Structure 1
């Protein structure tokens, strides 16, 4: 009994999830601002730097979660769930940063309507991820658990919307884009953007699992 009392418990995992979720939302909004101001090279770079900053800050949170896992004997949810969730969240910001960098490396000159639509859906997914994560500490409250499941369902719907936009974007790209180099550039960027919603859905699926096991 005395030994168990001396063991490190709980840790601050939920707060770290919240911090990471805030960085996901922050990075996605910076990415959207980059898209909105893409015609202005200075503003474009400013917001791309914002995406990078959010990703670097989130990496620090991920590292802290991993460090805390090694120090904590009793965790608020299953250890494997903690690790899977923080890694899935990290994947979201990694993709946002990768997409921002790819647009610069490929020297994309203009933003298409489809690219903008996929970016908007990515932001909505990221913001819903932040909200779902914020509910984790109170899953023992039935109304909160229900709200978490509803938010995860919203993410699933947004991912389906992104799939539809992606299919339409690819169809238009291959039918109407005469420049092969531009086609290759946009195809890669569309795929990266659509993958952001996929990664958000991965987070949602993990959160649904946590809700079902702990509510």
Structure 2
């Protein structure tokens, strides 16, 4: 009887991060050539990637249920899975938010924050790939530091953009809309930092 192939937890985790990065790139395409029509059309790719991640999460949890041995503690696998999945959920929520708020044009701070999301998700993807060899990795810490730096830069931009919005925008409806959008953009960047910080905790625990 053939031996069952060992489940690749680290590979599946990296796929969660990769899909989040791909979704972030689609989001970048949307805001760079923004229109409501383009938003609705291109958001479908984000929705599909989010559904794919839901399937990966189910696969990981099902495997945990039947496995006797795992490469790291089950609780840690569940934790990092949840945090990685949060990233694409936030990107997906952002695409819906732009549609539901009927945001008709893009503004500079939102473009810049989206660029930070792309950088942060790329960093998470790289860190998650390196996570598979965390006991011997020479680059994992620096990759995580890069994501933390991106989050700090994004936080400064968010604060500046929010202050400008509250100070200079006289249209109350626009203030309400853009506050919600800025909040969701920042939340997405924070989700990236949270994911790599979970990796840090797991590495410390296992080395």
Aligned residues between the structures: 204
Q: Does 1:104 align with 2:96?
A: no
CA 1:9–1:85 in structure 2 vs 1: closer, same or farther (change >3 Å)? farther
Q: Which stretch has the larger CA shift, 112-121 or 202-211?
A: 202-211
- When the two chains are superposed, the root-mean-square deviation of aligned CA atoms in Å is 1.5
Distance in 2 between residues matched to 1:110 and 1:97, nearest whole Å: 19
Following superposition, the deviation at residue 203 of structure 1 comes to: 0.6
What corresponds to 1:214 in structure 2?
206
Partner of 1:150: 142
Deviations 1:122-149 (A, max 9, x none): 11111110111101221232xx2x3111
TM-score by length of 2: 0.94
Residue 8 of structure 2: aligned partner? 12
Q: Does 1:91 align with 2:124?
A: no
Matched, 1:63 2:71: no
TM-score, reference length from structure 1: 0.90
Structure 1 residue runs of 5 or longer lacking an equivalent are: 1-7
Q: Is the 8 A contact 1:10 1:74 kept in 2?
A: no
CA contact (8 A) 1:10 1:72 kept: no
* Shift in Å, 1:11: 2.7
Shift of 1:53: 1.1
Q: Matches of 1:196 and 1:112 in 2, distance apart?
A: 18
Stretch moving more, 90-99 or 10-19: 10-19
Alignment pair present for 1:120 and 2:115: yes
Aligned twin of 1:136: 131
SS in 2 for 1:155: helix
Q: 2:171 aligns with which of 179, 188, 191?
A: 179
**Alignment check: 8 A CA contact 1:10 1:76 kept:** no
Q: Is the 8 A contact 1:125 1:158 kept in 2?
A: yes
Runs of 4+ with >6 A deviation: none
Find the partner of 2:24 among 28, 32, 39. Answer: 28
